[in-house]
Structure 1
Amino acid sequence: MFKKLFQVILFLQIVVFGVYGQTSKSTNYAIIKPATNLTAIVNTAANVTPSARQLRWQELELTAFFHIGMNTFTGREWGDGKEDPKLFNPTALDTRQWVRTVKAAGFKQVIITAKHHDGFCLWPSKYTEHSVKNSPRKNGQGDVVKEVADACREYKIGFGIYLSPWDRNSPLYGSGTAYNDYFVNQLTELLTQYGRVDEVWFDGANGEGSNGKKQVYDFDRWYKVIRKLQPSAVIAIMGPDVRWVGTETGYGRETEWSVVPANNLDQLTITAKSQHDITFKPKGDMRGDDLGGRDKIKTATGLIWYPAEADVSIRPGWFFHAAENDKVKSPEKLMDIYYNSVGKNCVLLLNIPPDKEGLLNASDVNALQGWKKLRDETFKINLLKDASVECNNGVNLKSILDDDYNTWFTTHNKDTSAVITLNLKGSKTFDVLLLQENIAIGQRVEKFELDYWDGNDWKKATEGTTIGYKRLLRFSPVTANKVRLTIESSRLNPTIATMGLYKQP
């Protein structure tokens, strides 16, 4: 009776105050005072949480990129801005086919390349003649951005825009303020004419313009425009909300912390930019093997929630080239990328470029469908379903199996380790482990191990470091009727929202 009462009180503490020491006022950054010891820094890191826009973005898991423009018709990857707008003439362009196809494949958001480096605009911008308004498509009356936005609303999927800061067509590029004004004008068009925008995607391309000069980008100004006009949009990957994972392979890190050092984050920065809506972006190299481990944060003066996006194209190039129709990534390759991106605490941004007709090519569509089938077959049945759960220092044990991300297992008192034993209903064969932390509470687990009972002893099936929003691990097939998950190390109390065992087809 006393034990049950204690658990009820403990549960109420978690709901009302957060998990042990985290107040209801959570933020996606923290300032570290001078001389703070490592233990205190680690505890602070455990309480840094995603903003609402970052959490929504992480839950997407899969976002589709649509690269279409001048390069589609010239066969290039980077245009020089001298192309004739009359080249752009996709005679069967159907954005509903694009969005319908990727939604059926499990994607929850798309991003359209509204303007690539050649400066050609897929919408009729009033600030340049280098746009669809001077193309033969629909006699210059078309607006591809609008058609994508409309299709996203129809199919209830997120809508994002890519706008290249590098513009090889504009004579203003390299002029300083005048080009930044031009860029803000185009950005404002995109953020005010197409309804809700969920993501704005900038890359770091910064070559020479038509005048032979490079431009100094006013990112801070651009961020403020986005926050004002589309406050729910995440800004990636040259932005404050989402960072680039560091390669264009679609593969993430074995150890992927969403909380990273921000050594130019200080109280004056916060005060100047408002505590409620900071547009701060960490500086420095974000491509190491481990960006947020204890050795990386021990000298931090600030910490910030800055999750990773892994991007890759389904083809060798980012734009459609007919010669690559037989080089589309196979369902099996896409599955491997999935395990190494979404399964490593990243969101996967997969590019599927429309062809010259303006359709997703059959080669790409078939690959997407085969990949979706593999995912469905793999994750159809959680072999832990109906298992009994035991843990001497655990709270809310069954929540790791209830299919509800908003409930979670945690530990008593200030325990940062736990052994969770699960008794399956008979012997099961499995080779995939799925784990999720409730990142709304924070990312905390630093090391874990999965063991199985072979009838005589415990044997290791797999192990890992970070979990984050989702961790997927494959291993040699195991048959057992009992497993245990050992949380060896955690920053404050672990919060395990989901656990699953699956068998690959």
Structure 2
Amino acid sequence: MFLHFGVNTFTDSEWGSGHENPAIFNPVGLAANQWVDTAVEAGISLVILTAKHHDGFCLWPSKYTDHSVVRSPWKNGHGDVVRELADAAKARGVDVGLYLSPWDRHDRRYGHDLPYNEYYLAQLQELLKKYGSVSEIWFDGAKGANATNMTYYFTEWFSMVKEFQSSINIFSDAGPDVRWVGNEAGSAGRTCWSTINRSSLAIGSTSTMDYLGTGDPKGKDWLPPECDVSIRPGWFWHKSQSPKTLSQILEIYYNSVGRNCVLLLNVPPNKTGLISQEDVQRLKEFRSAIDTIFSTNLAQNCLIKASSTRGGQQGGFGPENVLDNDHLWTYWAPKDGDNGDHWIELRGGDEGLRFNVVRIQEAIGLGQRIKRHEIYVDGNMVVNETTVGYKRIHRLDEGLVHGRIVRILIKKSRGVPLISSVGLHFDPFWHPDKRYTKSQGI
């Protein structure tokens, strides 16, 4: 969960000017515990705070600038939003991430390469040393078209980050650990590889967005994609805006998590310093919907067979592994050297199977392999798609299907395919005839 919060919350802006008076920042009811509780109830395991956005206002008392909470009336200048979030998250076992905007519209050093980069590194060091474990640090190249020309020392930034927090994940357009998906709509490409070539990427470039969304089957770098999108039209809270509908958020889920990505959903605190009740309610509906759809696997009691099995029935790689509770390290593997089509077949009872969602997961710890796959119900093709990855979730275009035999056919793969989990599910919220389109706000 992303938490966009700062002076923009109080000025009804998305990008601040850098000239805001810190006195406007006064979230009198701020309760980071409420933010974290909301995340936990929604099934979210990581929260990322905008410690500094483009306006340069710092949500912690940085000793390198007074353009921060120290000059605000909130807690008489003794407040620290980063500390409150870090403490609240630690108490609930939630991971913390931080965003420190490279573009700074306030600081006079911006535009002077060495002084500003030293300033940025100093603030980065504060955040990484004072607040305990940070699981993800979020970098981007966002800046206005007329912004002062500036060279960021990303290599030095990344080196220092790893020096202070060796297990941290660094996010940016070019990784090195997690990559941007190339848009802010929460949607990956229908083909989506975790691998990509970092040498083809540059932070802030607009020429590689499609490449970021699809990845590269020949990529040498493992950079899983992350989809950032806001629950509201804007990234910061605005009184005039409302959260997206449940149908819209589910569409985002299928197009992100369902396409081999991590979903980073922005839920902005309001002027009081709380996540608005309508957003809390929408997240509860979302969590309830996900539980409703995926808590039951209709394939669980099916008879299952496969085209072949590595090591035979006693080899430990049988197709029954795709129906156990381990979605990572137990898996079905066909025979090595079997050059025909690989398939898994699920057979329901006499009453048949009714479902409208198919879930497939590769044993991603051993790499992403599947290039093309098809799904058939009683011999009729219902899916003709490409990659799978950690998780591929298909909502069937025709809606509910009823059949006895479901075959997942792997047409192309890099090496033998390794499938860790398969699910057949019923999504009561999926009505293809009423599907939202981009023109309707997705």
Same fold (TM over 0.5): yes
Matched to 2:222, the amino acid is W
Return closer, same or farther for 1:242/1:285 CA change in 2, 3 Å cut-off: farther
Q: In the alignment, which of 218, 223, 227 is matched to residue 306 of structure 1?
A: 223
> Which segment is superposed worse, 81-90 or 405-414?
405-414
Is the 2:192–2:260 Cα contact (8 Å) retained in structure 1? Answer: yes
Matched to 2:159, the amino acid is K
Q: In the alignment, which of 288, 294, 297 is matched to residue 210 of structure 2?
A: 288
Partner of 2:305: 390
Return closer, same or farther for 1:352/1:292 CA change in 2, 3 Å cut-off: closer
Q: Give the superposition deviation at 1:432.
A: 0.1
Partner of 2:389: 468
1:91 and 2:28 correspond: yes
1:348 and 2:263 correspond: yes
Q: Give the superposition deviation at 1:309.
A: 1.0
Q: Give the superposition deviation at 1:419.
A: 1.7
Residue deviations 1:417-447 (CA, integer Å, cap 9, x gap): 4121111244120000001111110000011
Q: In the alignment, which of 397, 400, 408 is matched to residue 322 of structure 2?
A: 400
Matched to 2:169, the amino acid is V
Residues of 1 paired with 2:291 and 2:42: CA distance? Answer: 10
> Which segment is superposed worse, 183-192 or 237-246?
237-246
Q: In the alignment, which of 111, 129, 133 is matched to residue 174 of structure 1?
A: 111
Is the 1:414–1:492 Cα contact (8 Å) retained in structure 2? Answer: no
Partner of 1:24: none
> Which segment is superposed worse, 410-419 or 83-92?
410-419
Return closer, same or farther for 1:360/1:480 CA change in 2, 3 Å cut-off: same
1:418 and 2:322 correspond: no
Residues of 2 paired with 1:222 and 1:329: CA distance? Answer: 36
Partner of 1:243, secondary structure, is strand
Aligned length: 414
Residues of 2 paired with 1:447 and 1:350: CA distance? Answer: 29
Residues of 1 paired with 2:89 and 2:258: CA distance? Answer: 26
Residues of 2 paired with 1:95 and 1:469: CA distance? Answer: 32
Q: Give the superposition deviation at 1:504.
A: 1.0
Partner of 2:95: 158
Residues of 1 paired with 2:11 and 2:331: CA distance? Answer: 52
Is the 1:378–1:502 Cα contact (8 Å) retained in structure 2? Answer: yes
Tell me the percent identity.
Answer: 44
Residue deviations 1:129-166 (CA, integer Å, cap 9, x gap): 00001111111111100111111111111100000001
Q: In the alignment, which of 362, 370, 391 is matched to residue 437 of structure 1?
A: 362
Question: Structure 1-normalised TM-score?
Answer: 0.79
Partner of 1:191, secondary structure, is helix
Matched to 2:150, the amino acid is Q
Return closer, same or farther for 1:496/1:203 CA change in 2, 3 Å cut-off: same
Partner of 1:358: 273
Is the 1:415–1:492 Cα contact (8 Å) retained in structure 2? Answer: no
Partner of 1:478: 401
Return closer, same or farther for 1:233/1:263 CA change in 2, 3 Å cut-off: closer
Q: Give the superposition deviation at 1:240.
A: 1.1
Query: C-alpha root-mean-square deviation of aligned residues, in Å?
Result: 2.0
1:100 and 2:37 correspond: yes
Question: Structure 2-normalised TM-score?
Answer: 0.90
Is the 2:257–2:391 Cα contact (8 Å) retained in structure 1? Answer: yes
Partner of 2:366, secondary structure, is coil
Is the 1:163–1:202 Cα contact (8 Å) retained in structure 2? Answer: yes
Q: Which runs of 5+ in 2 are unaligned?
A: 310-316, 429-442
Partner of 1:35: none
Partner of 2:404, secondary structure, is strand
1:215 and 2:215 correspond: no
Residue deviations 1:65-104 (CA, integer Å, cap 9, x gap): 0001000001111111111111100010001101101211
Residues of 2 paired with 1:284 and 1:258: CA distance? Answer: 20
Is the 1:240–1:281 Cα contact (8 Å) retained in structure 2? Answer: no
Residues of 2 paired with 1:284 and 1:315: CA distance? Answer: 24
Q: In the alignment, which of 218, 226, 244 is matched to residue 329 of structure 1?
A: 244
Q: Give the superposition deviation at 1:306.
A: 1.6
Is the 2:190–2:214 Cα contact (8 Å) retained in structure 1? Answer: no
Matched to 2:88, the amino acid is A
Return closer, same or farther for 1:234/1:421 CA change in 2, 3 Å cut-off: same
Matched to 2:239, the amino acid is A
